[in-house]
Structure 1
């Protein structure tokens, strides 16, 4: 019995991390969503991880007010319902660098890859802004009216709809630190955590395919989009359970 226990302990520990000679899988949760990844050592000091981060789509409905030089003759609605949707699912390829062979602390560098459109915003009723589009056609340039979204003015298209997106870089370099080995050495299973930032550049707001500039409407509407449009990094904090399978 004792011999069997000793054998099991020996089989559950590894001390020969080399070029892809072991493999582990992990499941985690954090600010990037639910992560599923595989990892393998390159040397005792470097491990490579690759996987996907599934972020549930968030939908939010709100009312946006009309803004601009609204003619006195206009007697239609002054606010319209819109729906915002998030798109934050990503893939990642990361390298953990350990200062010592037995170190659990690591520095991580790599990149995340996802859609460049992280938020989309559309009116909930198709064609509801058709009257606004007709009115804009009769107004001189520089006097258009539209929906007030924080620092941005959203004018409808010829079908009476608005279609706005918040875009960032699809390729996002990552730098962070963490604790725990992605390929456990002493046990079959281990607990890891990582924290850092994705560098996704300066977010930009697009109306259809046209990049918008700030209209300085001084409105309290669209506070979330106003904040995100100024954030050049996305924070990462993840907790994972990993298990060595080879």
Structure 2
């Protein structure tokens, strides 16, 4: 009877070991992660899949919307103006991260960003009356300038960072620094009242932004492995 009882204990012991080994194996085989990030392109929602020990695939959606951001007393050519700005961002990233060192979370990132909408709209108005000799024109009558700047199409991106897309533990943190490499933005410039002639400077503004082909991609993220 004692021998039978001992055999049962041994069987249960090895059965528990087998379950533990199977659980450990399943933990090691977790190859997916979801993440939430925030940064220069707003809120990000991410899905990642492990391809190898050094390579992970990533799919990220970024969204940002800032409405009626006001900046007062901005000096432009000795004139003080107020600027009312709106920014809207919607970008989808498809990319990879490469981990060159086995025991380090340092990584290189690259991919393609689909710029569904990256739009900056600004309204410029005088914040005080305009004086020409003895003639005084109220700031309301002077009019306003509306600048609409838009990036579209697709843009490759590159970057560096720390923190794996598929963390070693269940939770992981990371930070990334990089940039989208885009074509120059499209400019639309309109003006009213006394400032109406300013709209003729659209081509000059377009040329001044011709080299503005980089959109910063900075993210702080938290990932969950499953």
Please report the TM-score for the alignment, with normalisation by the length of structure 2: 0.63
CA distance, structure 2, for counterparts of residue 49 and residue 117 of structure 1: 21
- Cα displacement (A) at 1:41: 1.4
Name 2:225's counterpart in structure 1: 244
Name 1:83's counterpart in structure 2: 84
Unaligned runs of 5+ in 2: 1-15, 126-142, 191-199
Tell whether the 8 Å contact from 2:159 to 2:177 is kept in structure 1 after alignment.
yes
Computing the radius of gyration from Cα coordinates, the structure with the larger value is: 2
Is structure 2 residue 98 aligned with structure 1 residue 97? yes
Distance 1:213 1:116, change over 3 A: farther
The DSSP-based 3-state class of the residue aligned with 2:38 is strand
The DSSP-based 3-state class of the residue aligned with 1:57 is strand
Is structure 2 residue 216 aligned with structure 1 residue 235? yes
CA distance, structure 1, for counterparts of residue 74 and residue 104 of structure 2: 53
- Cα displacement (A) at 1:202: 2.5
Name 2:69's counterpart in structure 1: 60
State the superposition RMSD in angstroms: 4.1
Unaligned runs of 5+ in 1: 68-78, 125-159, 216-225
Name 1:207's counterpart in structure 2: 189
Name 1:176's counterpart in structure 2: 159
**Matches of residues 72-221 of structure 1 in structure 2 within 5 Å?**
83-100=84-101, 102-122=103-123, 163-184=146-167, 186-207=168-189, 212-214=202-204
Tell whether the 8 Å contact from 1:105 to 1:178 is kept in structure 2 after alignment.
yes
- Cα displacement (A) at 1:101: 5.0
CA distance, structure 2, for counterparts of residue 108 and residue 171 of structure 1: 17
CA distance, structure 2, for counterparts of residue 98 and residue 202 of structure 1: 32
| Bigger strand share | 2
Tell whether the 8 Å contact from 1:87 to 1:115 is kept in structure 2 after alignment.
no
| Bigger helix share | 2
CA distance, structure 1, for counterparts of residue 186 and residue 93 of structure 2: 23
Name 1:29's counterpart in structure 2: 38
Tell whether the 8 Å contact from 1:168 to 1:203 is kept in structure 2 after alignment.
yes
Structure of higher RCO (CA pairs closer than 8 Å, 6+ residues apart): 1
Distance 1:115 1:123, change over 3 A: farther
CA distance, structure 2, for counterparts of residue 12 and residue 191 of structure 1: 22
The one of 45, 48, 51 aligned to 1:39: 48
CA distance, structure 2, for counterparts of residue 232 and residue 41 of structure 1: 31
